[in-house]
Amino acid sequence: MPDDLIVRRETHVPAPPAAVFALLTDPEQILRWMGTEAQLDPQPGGLYLVNVTGARFARGAFREVVPVHRLSYSFGWDGSEAVPPGSSLVEIDLIEQPDGTLLKMTHTGLPNAEQCAGHAEGWGHYLGRLAVAAAGRDPGPDPFYGRTG
């Protein structure tokens, strides 16, 4: 897999790993920073379904769930030919630090540079909102609300 088709993000989150893990796996908590509705069953084979923008559903299945340390799930978009449901892989590691958690995210299996750029923008946006929510603040209305692409 070409290295330029991998999206990598590292974000410092001012909360312990358990709190960050809950923000990633609890259907009510994920909505504090991303999406308008969510169905999450964080166990291997369990459903990952989030209406990210109010107009676009991300769908996949959890592959690996190590509470408070690691998640991986297949990922794609309902109705997308470029990145259909389950066609890519998101891996997230949570590393405890004295002042919070280092979140390391890798997104692989995207088909081209255009999709990588779009997903890199999306991950940067949403991981920033996650860090705000983890700090106990309201990230405010999502400027990506209503996006279909």
16-50 pLDDT per residue, tens: 999 999 999 999 999 999 999 999 999 999 999 99
Number of independent structural domains in the chain: 1
Residue 84 reports pLDDT greater than 90: yes
Tell me if 147 is assigned to some domain: no
pLDDT reported for residue 1:
47
- Which residue matches tokens 């209503």? 146
Q: Residues, the chain, total?
A: 149
Tell me if 31 is assigned to some domain: yes
Q: If you average pLDDT over every residue of the chain, what do you get? A: 95
Question: The tokens of 24 are what?
Answer: 């990633």
Mean pLDDT throughout 58-71? 98
Cα distances from 17 to residues 27, 70, 110, 118, 138, in angstroms, run 17, 10, 27, 27, 19
Tell me if 139 is assigned to some domain: no
85-107 pLDDT per residue, tens: 999 999 999 999 999 999 999 99
Residue 66: domain span:
3-134
Tell me if 140 is assigned to some domain: no
| CA geometry: angle 120, 56, 11, nearest 5 deg | 30
Query: How far apart, in whole angstroms, are the C-alpha atoms of residue 12 and residue 70?
Result: 15
Residue predicted with more confidence, 3 or 88? 88
